[in-house]
Structure formats: C-alpha cells, structure tokens
Structure 1
Amino acid sequence: MVTMRDVADAAGVSAMTVSNVLAGRNVRSETRERVLAVVEQTGYRVNVAAQNLRRRRTGVVGLAVHELDSHYFSMLAARLTARLAREGLRLVVEQTGASRQGELAAISGSRVNAYDGLLLSASDLSAEDVAALAGDLPVVMLGERQDLQRFDHVEMANTAGARDAAQLLLDRGCRRLAAVGLPQPAAADGSRRDAFRLRAAGVAAAVEGSPAARVRFHESATYRAADGLRLTLEALQLEPRTDGLVCATDTLALGALRGLADAGLRAPDDVQVVGFDDVPDASTSVPSLSTVAPGHDEMVDAAARLLVRRIADREAPPEHVIASHRLVLRESTRRP
C-alpha cells in the first residue's frame, strides 16, 4: 500500500506538505502540481478511517425519530440529510417506535458505532436516562419535552400555532369546532403527546376568547389518515352541526377531508378544515389544505448548527430554539 511518506519521498517534499496539498491548504502551485502528479502516478488514496480514528471523528451522526412512515418525520429526515451534508456529515436514521426500548437502543447504538452525535426525538426517556446513557455523546433534542431542556433543544411553536389555526376558523365564522387528534388539554401527559397537549392548549385558548364558540376534543392513539377519517365521522355523529375541524397534524387533516366526503359534506362550504405541519401533500390535496407551517427550514438549520457546535465544544451551555410559524391559507378554509 502506498503511504503518504512514499508520496512525499517521490515528490521531494515533506509528509506535511503532502498533507497540506490533499487538504487544500495554501501551497505553492509548482509544489502542488508535483505532489498531485505523484499521487496520480502512485494511486495513493487517503485513509479516511485512519484520519477519523486520529481525530476521534467518524463523520456520521444519528437521527432517532418515532416513525419513518410519517409525512412529517420522513420530510424532516430528508431535510436534515441535505443540511448536514453541507457540514460534511452523513446522517443515519433510526426508528424508535416512540418506545423506551427503541430510544435506549438508538443512544447505545450511536455510542457503539462511534457516531459523532445524535439528534433525538425522545418520548419515554427521562432527562436522567438520556444523560446517563449518552455520556459524552453530543445530543440535540428535537420536540416538545419540556423536561429535556438541560440539552440543546429545538422545538416548534405548538401552542401559538394551534391557537392561530383555531382562530382562523373562528374568524371565518366557525362556532362548533372539533379538535381532531387532540386530547383534552388537562388530560394529556408530558411524554409522547406533549406536542399535542400544547396544541390542545392553543385551541382551547382561542375558543375561550370567543364566548359563542365550542370545541370538542377527539384524542387518538395513532395519527394516520385513517384516524383522521374515523375521528371526523365520530365528531359529526356527536355534533352534526360541526362547522370547523382543527387537526393535530396534516396527515389527520387529509383523512378528515375524506371523512367529510364520505359524510356527503364539502370543505370549506359545509365544514372548514385546518391542519398542522405543512407537509408537501397539503398543497396537492382536493381541496388543498390550509395549515400551520412550523418553520421546517429554521428547525433543521438550528438542529444542524447546535449539533455541530456541540461536537466541537462539549462544554457549551445548552441552547433552546423555538422556531417561528405562519398560517398557510388554501382551499379548505373560506376566504375572509
């Protein structure tokens, strides 16, 4: 195997000069050309594995999320893959099933495989669990678990976004709302459904500000389009005069549109619908879906920035980022 020392001897330079040339550092053009000619002639290849071992870097980071069969998490993984590639990092994605066992496996696997860091959407783990198992592994938390803010933490504006979504329906004349996929605000726990607890609180706050309005919460254990369809039919059965659906996610909202069609109703003429997440399918459904865009690019940039910073500086104080949000108005809600 040709070594860097062999290239240096053949080019008549030091091994450090060869290293500088291959790293793209400032070297005289004549020397650079001579070194590169020898590299080509000898077929020398940089031993990346050895470099990483010396630097204690692998160039690989992990992303552990609840599920990949999800509009939101699949979109998040794709955006993070592209964003981290700009930092010279390769992303490995793991599915935890939102279970304690899956999340523990994601952390321990990251350490066994010597990942440079981990982006973790935790559900069942406590802050103490994460700290004890992660050790010195750089970790950035994703999601709304308020008890995990001892770590770098990126979240979306769940309460404010859901409040704006419900207020949109109220402003468009709705008075009998159904919150599809959201628990009673006081009944939800602080683990996996913490995001939905916060969204439920936002919906409740908007309705409380409109004395003539009412809202009924329809909780779900899962968040697939079929659940949105089922819960919509349930809401219409319990309150046939329901005129607005504020949905916990866009996936549920897409199912809700189908539920309305099955009930012989149309959006927005009979019932107005608003979702949350602004996934790509929201703009192509019939009708297209009004929704809350939670600042995807901002969250991805923040997660990448915090992970790169944490890898470089394990002692940096933790940072908490709440991304901005905006309403995206489409065909499932009426015009003003």
Structure 2
Amino acid sequence: MMYYRPIVQHGETRPEGAVPLAGRSSLWFSDVELLSRDGPPRLMPAGLIPEEVRHRLSFRRAAIAGLDMTQPQVMGILNVTPDSFSDGGRHAGAEVACAAALRMVEEGASIIDVGGESTRPGADFIPEEEEIARTVPAIEAISAASSVAISIDTRKAQVAVETLEAGAGLINDVSGFTFDAALAPVAAQAGVPVCVMHAQGDPATMQADPSYDNVLLDVYDFLAQQVDRLEAIGVLRDRIVVDPGIGFGKTMEHNLTLLRGLSLFHGLGCPILLGVSRKGFIGKIGGAAQADQRAPGSIAVGLAGLAQGVQILRVHDVAETVQAVRLWQAVR
C-alpha cells in the first residue's frame, strides 16, 4: 500500500499544477512524499498521484459544529475533573466551569471541549454516573450563557447521550470509538460530528513502553479504519475529525515523527485536530517542568501544525494561542 503526504507550502506565487490543500486558499502542494512499508520515501509530482487521492487531499472540508474548516479554529480545554494533569480541580462546579468557558470564548475560543474523566497517563477509570454528574451541569450552564460550540470529551455512550441533551454538539473520543461499542451508534443517531483520536492502550497503561512498526503509518491505518467504520454505521465522513493522539501511547520520538508527518492525515478527507497543549514532551524538550509553564512550546508546536494544514488546535492557553495564530496568519 502506498501513502501520500503532501509537501505543504504557502504563498500567492505557486507553480503550474499546484493543488490547494483541503480547500484552503493559503495552502497548497505541488509534490507529495510517497511512503510505503517496504521501501524508502520518495517525492512525486502532485499531478501523478491517483485522482481519488488528489481529491481527498484537496477538496474543501465541510463546517464542523458550525465552524469554518478553511480557517484555524481554537478549541479551549475545560476539564471538570479533580485529577487532570494540568488543571485538575480548577473548574469543579457548574458556575466555575461556566465562568472559565466564557473567559475562553472572550479570548477567542470557537469551541469548548468539556471533559469529566482524566485521560492523563496513569489515570484511573471513572464510572459513567460520576462523569455525567461532573459534565452535564457545566454544559447546561455554558449552553444557557453562550452560543459557543461545545464538545464532550468522553469514551462512554451514556455520557454522550446525557451531555448531548444538555447542549454538547460534538463527541470527542480519545479511544477512537473503540472503548464503548454503543458510542458510534449514538453519534450516528444524533447526527453530530465526532473526533476520532488514536491511542495505544488505556490511559492507565498507555505509556508503559509503547511500540509501533511505523508510528506514522500505523496511526494513519487505525484512523482510516475507524473513519470507514463510522461511515458504515451512519456517521458522514464530512462530520468526522481525526486526531493522531499526540502523547497517548507514544514516546517523545513517536510524537515528533507524527508531528513531522502531520500532513499525511489530510489523505483521510477529514479535518485534523492537534492536541499538544502542555504535554510532557514539550516540557522535556523545552525545559519546563511545570505544565502551566509550557505555553510557549505548545504554541510553537501548534503553529507548526497549522503550517501543515491542521484545522483545529486544542489548547489550555487560549488567549496566548489566539494571539499567536493571528500574527502567524498576518505574516503569512
């Protein structure tokens, strides 16, 4: 099997035959990196790749939860948990959570991702009743106070059912819809967009010596399989977002390999979400032991992702990220 990673470029001056990336007027490619499991990578002109592949790489992505996928979108992280790695316990209670969400909206977040179960390395499983009790009041409060799009970060079908009724409009599953077989049918029946993330193993054990044959291609194949599965169940492809799952069952080198090859995932024909905010590898490389000191490194990696055509950045530091994105766009 061959894989096609567009070599993403920007600028108004472009060669004849350049192809727009995911319908973006500002990003394009004229060559692709041809990858396989059997030989070394090589470059190929975009005009020589199969028509179906070129279409997947180039067509304009549909809006997700009302958000324009031709522009970078910032997703604010709102953990209503006592034990998340960076902000556990800070947003407990509907009133506090709502105030934090409204602050992120004011800072420029276009979607709020509400999570009631920590998925940090080593995190314990949380019963769905407890997860519902944490998330539903927060989502109800945010929905009553703002029209901002809300995502529910959950692996569990019943949590999704309750939070969709409370006002969530997107299901973000860190297990890539492998944990609870009932979750994908819930999404299909509700007609809501979903985010499919790759993770190797459960949060409790995922960082115990993760290994891959080829991390970039293995993650791509997993996401391709899950997107096809969701389509078969009834979730439209134009309502699916993919996330390579940086930090979820990956070593630092795995993370860096995925980040270097991010544009490969445009071949799935779905918007790409990148979640690197405050993660451990940023602290190791950047020399920031405390998670809340990792905004500069998180932003640097996020902007590198935008340069490869990523559509959504999932972040803790909304104001700083939004400012950086605006300047990045202005300069380019």
TM-score by length of 2: 0.26
Higher relative contact order (CA 8 A, sep 6+): 2
Q: Which has the larger radius of gyration?
A: 1
More helix by share: 1
